[in-house]
Amino acid sequence: MTTNGKQPETNTLGETDNYMIWKADEPDGETTYHIELNNATLHFFSEEWDEFIELVKSIE
């Protein structure tokens, strides 16, 4: 969702009743990822997100 050129464009990647993962394409060109776990939110830059995804895949 975008409200103007200065706001990040956000996209929900996944959602349950208690959790949500979304990404934001920032106006400066950076993409950030966010995991909301009840009242805690984890924020990742792209490089950190890639490493986190590799970590999650390793436990499957």
4-59 pLDDT per residue, tens: 568 999 999 999 999 999 999 999 999 999 999 999 999 999 999 999 999 999 99
Question: Alpha-carbon dihedral of residues 11, 15, 21, 22, nearest 10 degrees?
Answer: 10
Say if 4 falls within a structural domain: no
The domain tally of the chain equals 1
Residue 30 maps to a domain: yes
In this structure, are residues 35 and 25 in contact, taking their beta carbons and an 8 Å threshold?
no
pLDDT of 2 higher than 60? no
| In-domain check, residue 2 | no
Where do the DSSP E strands lie in the chain? 9-15, 19-25, 31-37, 40-45
Domain that holds residue 37: 9-58
